[in-house]
Amino acid sequence: MEIAEQIERLKNKLLQPLPGIGAQEKMAARVFPMPIEIPVDAKTSAVLCLLFPMNDELYVLLMKRMADNTAHSGQVSFPGGRYEPTDANIKATALREANEEVGIAIADIEILGALTPLYIPVSKFNVHPFVGYTKNRPTYQLSKDEVAYILELPLSQLFHESGKTKADVSSPVVPDVIRQVPAYVLEDGTIIWGATAMILSELEVLLENS
């Protein structure tokens, strides 16, 4: 299937009812249990799941966060962060954060749609994931304070059954507790788990059915 056709199909899928929590839970891994209700003091945030063509297939952009002893220290994640009052809306938050963290030009990004929001108990972020697309491989300018390096991953490899595992992980919040969780694993052994894996899992289900 041509990349343009894949993107158009995905765009249409994002307009329909989403796979939602059921798809996210396939890769669920939480440091703290999910509350019955999202707390009133939850911090609204957004991330950008950016797709782009390279080597005649679709890639996704992820980044390795700097180790700073915060809740998501050193983890692989999407570009993203907290909503600011100056943002026009939550979609604008995702675009601004991608520009600030990895330097992608906002004008180059087409937002295809939104995935299901996800609450993260350990950091109290209520995350709104947006799927974006750029017709060319991005150029980057990394925030040295926030980003260790980027990862450009082909979806065909990431979502292959061999790319899933059970991994022992810990969080800086409770470093003495080791949990075995579902995760995506890269060829070099890098583990993608937690909210990022849950968001990717919903994207994977959408692409399977498109």
* DSSP-derived secondary structure for 111-171: EEEE---EEETTTTEEEEEEEEE-SSPPP----TTTEEEEEEEEHHHHTSGGGEEEEEEEE
Phi and psi at residue 139, to the nearest 5°:
-105, 150
Within a domain: residue 23?
Answer: yes
Give this prediction's pTM: 0.92
User: Which band of pLDDT confidence, cut at 50, 70 and 90, is reported for residue 114?
Assistant: very high
**Residue 122: what pLDDT?**
80
Average pLDDT of 7-31?
92
C-alpha–C-alpha distance, residues 90 and 128, integer Å = 7
**Residue 210: what pLDDT?**
62
**Residue 10: what pLDDT?**
96
- Give the CATH number for residue 127: 3.90.79.10
Average pLDDT of 185-189?
91
C-alpha–C-alpha distance, residues 131 and 145, integer Å = 25
User: Which band of pLDDT confidence, cut at 50, 70 and 90, is reported for residue 190?
Assistant: very high
Kindly tell me if the per-residue pLDDT of 45 is higher than 80: yes
Average pLDDT of 89-108?
97
**Residue 77: what pLDDT?**
94
User: Which band of pLDDT confidence, cut at 50, 70 and 90, is reported for residue 116?
Assistant: very high
Of residues 145 and 199, the one with the higher pLDDT is 199
**Residue 87: what pLDDT?**
98
**Residue 173: what pLDDT?**
61
C-alpha–C-alpha distance, residues 200 and 84, integer Å = 25
Within a domain: residue 8?
Answer: yes
Within a domain: residue 38?
Answer: no
Average pLDDT of 18-40?
85
C-alpha–C-alpha distance, residues 210 and 6, integer Å = 8
- Take residue 52 and report the two structure tokens written for it: 């782009």
Of residues 100 and 210, the one with the higher pLDDT is 100
Within a domain: residue 176?
Answer: yes
**Residue 56: what pLDDT?**
93
**Residue 71: what pLDDT?**
47
Torsion angle of C-alpha atoms 67, 68, 71, 75, degrees rounded to 10: -20
**Residue 157: what pLDDT?**
92
C-alpha–C-alpha distance, residues 68 and 51, integer Å = 27
Residue 147 makes CB contacts below 8 A (sequence gap 6+) with 63, 64, 65, 66, 101, 102
Within a domain: residue 201?
Answer: yes
Kindly tell me if the per-residue pLDDT of 31 is higher than 80: no
Torsion angle of C-alpha atoms 148, 205, 91, 80, degrees rounded to 10: -20
Instruction: Count the domains in the chain.
Output: 1
Kindly tell me if the per-residue pLDDT of 29 is higher than 80: no
Q: Which domain holds residue 94?
A: 3-33+43-208
pLDDT per residue as tens digits for the range 126-185 = 999 999 999 999 999 999 888 999 999 999 999 998 999 998 886 666 666 667 889 999
The closest alpha carbon to 58, from 147, 158, 161, 201, belongs to: 158
Within a domain: residue 21?
Answer: yes
* Adjacency order of strands within the sheet including 164-171: 164-171, 174-185, 191-192
Phi and psi at residue 197, to the nearest 5°:
-65, -35
